[in-house]
Amino acid sequence: METNNNEKIYYPSKQVIDNANIKEYDKLYKNSIAHPEKFWEEQAGYLSWYKKWDKVLDSSNPPFYKWFEGAKTNIILNALDRHQTSANRNKLALMWEGEPGDTRSFSYHALNREVCQFANILKSMGVKKGDVVTIYMPQIPEQIFAMLACAKIGAAHSVVYGGFSHESLADRINDANSRVVITADGGYRRGKVVEMKSVVNKAMELSPTMEICITVKRTGVDVYMENGRDYWYHDLKGLPIASTKCETEQMDSSDMLFLLYTSGSTGKPKALVHTHGGYSVYTSTTHRMVFDIKPEDRYWCAADPGWITGHSYIVYGPLINGATILLYEGAPNHPYPDRWWKMVDRYGINILYTSPTAIRGLMRFGDSWPNRNNLSSLRLLGSVGEPINPEAWRWFYEVIGNGKCPIIDTWWQTETGGFMITPIPVTPLKPGSATKPFFGCVISIVDEKGKEVKTGEEGNLVIKTPWPGMTAGVYRDPQRYIDTYWKKYQKQGWYLTGDAAKRDKDGYFWIIGRTDDVIKVSGYRLGSAEIESVMAKHPAIAESAAIGLPHAIKGNAIHITAVLRNGFKSSKELEHELTAYMIEHLGPIARPEEIIFADMLPKTRSGKIMRRVLKARALGLPEGDLSTMDE
């Protein structure tokens, strides 16, 4: 085997191989794609079902594939209910640490009681099967209880990340026609209270469908509560309606489990739908095989539950597998840059799954911070969200993993539900490559016409066959689902990922990045059009173009080129004002790195902004084909 640039290959140690549940990839992979339905049926057999499926895969109406058709289940049956009658009942399900240092923990028994109470409260508020409940919360145990409670009663949750503004929250509430929102007064971040209920209050003013808001008291900040609309969670929990027993709703396999909004190339974020059956099988199988989870493990996915990583690999996959998870509320470097390393030490974490941004952010504080803590409990490390640069990879591997923990670089998307390209612990590793497809997944790199590109050449990453974790589509917009993902290779029936990639001669995949106008900032996904449409609302702005440019910590940062309306003059003050405007209207994650002013934007003759030209100019690269550019 060779690396791209003759770099070192990291082979698994004898200890890793001895410890591994799956010792060989190739044969199992070959079998899995030769008989995918058999493979997935076998995996589904690890789970409990109220009623088994009539058909593993119904592909009568592509691309709307249905997995485990005819089956009756609920993800809660597997994530909670079945653990109540096994030894897992007494096992730690959730260990939690708040940023100020307060801790709480829950066994599977205790977690189930909390979820039942929350579910009964939601029911008493009239929430029923098929409703969408919006969750806008800090990373506290109640965030997870709320998600599980919705699932239990057959309502779909729509978790909106706490870094979004009240307008972004209102857009998502309105798009989903959500009646009920669950929030907290606030959460802690870098030693300060980040208010949330006040954001929800502002969002509700813009949301005609909103009737009820349940608020968890976390920080004690003053909040405005309106009679008949607002309820404190702790008040409701004290009422007889909040019984600790609650029947789990029986769902069809393809019934909706949750919506999750994500950015694409158009202005409006879209809600992707995931379902009870296929998603249960996919998240638990990938989590079990890739993280090689053992009963004694303490597993920490340091993402926010508000993103797909948290949904699949903090909450559902691990809980289905009966794992012990850790959730942490705050910043990785508060009060000191070894907060995370202290927690790895204190909780005896065996598996740590995080993002390149977080790794780079902690790496800049130097080795002494991790080195003063005992990290020897770590067995596996994971990375997700964007390509990991080899320097960060090696630091993670050598300094955090002490040269003994394989790095599981998982490529996947909100749409895929779970890992698609990833090593398993015994896979030889090349820093920066997500290695090979997961079992049952057929993935390829093709040119514009659909022809497989040559080894080492760049092309579009496509997924050629259905998999159980795949989204069921865009909420109430089937056409948008087809147009965005399936139209380009409609003839072949392939799913377009939106990523460019290449494959080396060992069959290893190297992800290059997005080919559409999606910008990955600190691993978070933002659309150029989404940013530009907020800019356009500012009185000084005629039009603008947002691009992503490389950033040492964030991976990419937002750079905006703006054209001013007549009568406005460019200035530093205006740049600051526009930055504040973006943060207020889209949220802190959309903070632009730089706003520059120009007289006009490069456009095609049909009027489309040529963002790639702006990008090439900023990077000092050739501007490429300019034949379509308007003179």
Task: List residues near ligand WT7 by CB under 6 A.
Answer: 262, 308-309, 384-387, 409-414, 434, 497-499, 511, 514, 520, 525
| Cβ closest to ligand WT7, residue 53 vs residue 412 | 412
**Burial environment of residue 15 by CB neighbours within 10 A (0 to 12, 13 to 18, 19 or more):** exposed
Query: Where are the strands (E) in 219-348, listed by range?
Result: 230-232, 251-252, 256-262, 270-275, 298-301, 324-328
461 backbone dihedrals φ, ψ, rounded to 5°: -80, 125
| Cβ closest to ligand WT7, residue 207 vs residue 262 | 262
Q: Which residue has its beta carbon closest to ligand WT7? A: 414
CB of 309 to ligand WT7, least distance (A): 4
**Half-sphere exposure at residue 342, Cβ-oriented, CA atoms within 13 angstroms:** 13
CB of 411 to ligand WT7, least distance (A): 4
Q: Token match 């909390």: residue?
A: 114
CB of 492 to ligand WT7, least distance (A): 20
- What are 397's two structure tokens? 């591997």
CB of 413 to ligand WT7, least distance (A): 4
| Cβ closest to ligand WT7, residue 98 vs residue 163 | 163
- Angle CA(166)–CA(171)–CA(175) in degrees, nearest 5? 150
Whether 466 and 543 have beta carbons less than 8 Å apart is answered as no
CB of 263 to ligand WT7, least distance (A): 8
CA distances 433 to 9, 51, 427, 456, Å, are 11, 40, 11, 13
CB of 312 to ligand WT7, least distance (A): 8
Whether 564 and 584 have beta carbons less than 8 Å apart is answered as no
Give the amino acid at 555.
G
CB of 405 to ligand WT7, least distance (A): 17
**Burial environment of residue 539 by CB neighbours within 10 A (0 to 12, 13 to 18, 19 or more):** exposed
Return left, alpha or beta for 35; rule: phi > 0 is left, psi -120 to 50 is alpha, else beta.
Answer: beta
| Cβ closest to ligand WT7, residue 248 vs residue 413 | 413
| Cβ closest to ligand WT7, residue 77 vs residue 474 | 474
| Cβ closest to ligand WT7, residue 219 vs residue 262 | 262
CB of 221 to ligand WT7, least distance (A): 30
| Cβ closest to ligand WT7, residue 186 vs residue 437 | 437
| Cβ closest to ligand WT7, residue 252 vs residue 499 | 499
- What are 361's two structure tokens? 């952010």
285 backbone dihedrals φ, ψ, rounded to 5°: -65, -45
Parallel, antiparallel or unpaired: strands 324-328 and 509-514: unpaired
| Cβ closest to ligand WT7, residue 57 vs residue 441 | 441
| Cβ closest to ligand WT7, residue 284 vs residue 561 | 284
Asked if the bond preceding 240 is cis, omega within 30° of 0, the reply is: no
| Cβ closest to ligand WT7, residue 251 vs residue 259 | 259
CB of 463 to ligand WT7, least distance (A): 11
| Cβ closest to ligand WT7, residue 187 vs residue 469 | 469
Give the amino acid at 437.
P
459, β-bridge pairs:
501
Q: Is 507 helix (H, G, I), strand (E, B) or coil?
A: coil
103, β-bridge pairs:
97
CB of 410 to ligand WT7, least distance (A): 5
| Cβ closest to ligand WT7, residue 56 vs residue 169 | 169
Whether 326 and 349 have beta carbons less than 8 Å apart is answered as yes
CB under 8 Å to 89, separation ≥6 — which residues?
A: 83, 107, 108, 109
CB of 233 to ligand WT7, least distance (A): 29
Parallel, antiparallel or unpaired: strands 298-301 and 72-73: unpaired
CB of 611 to ligand WT7, least distance (A): 16
Per-residue burial over 399-420, b if 16 or more Cβ lie within 10 Å, else e, is: bbbeeebbbbbbbbbbbbbbbb
Query: Where are the strands (E) in 8-108, listed by range?
Result: 55-58, 66-69, 72-73, 92-97, 103-107
| Cβ closest to ligand WT7, residue 118 vs residue 299 | 299
| Cβ closest to ligand WT7, residue 165 vs residue 497 | 497
Estimate to the nearest angstrom the gap between the alpha carbon of 556 and the chain centroid. Answer: 17
CB of 420 to ligand WT7, least distance (A): 9
- Angle CA(254)–CA(304)–CA(154) in degrees, nearest 5? 25
How far apart CA 605 and CA 599 sit, in angstroms, is 17
How far apart CA 68 and CA 81 sit, in angstroms, is 20
CB of 630 to ligand WT7, least distance (A): 30
DSSP annotation of 299 reads E
| Cβ closest to ligand WT7, residue 78 vs residue 262 | 262
CB of 626 to ligand WT7, least distance (A): 27
How far apart CA 71 and CA 586 sit, in angstroms, is 41
CB of 511 to ligand WT7, least distance (A): 4
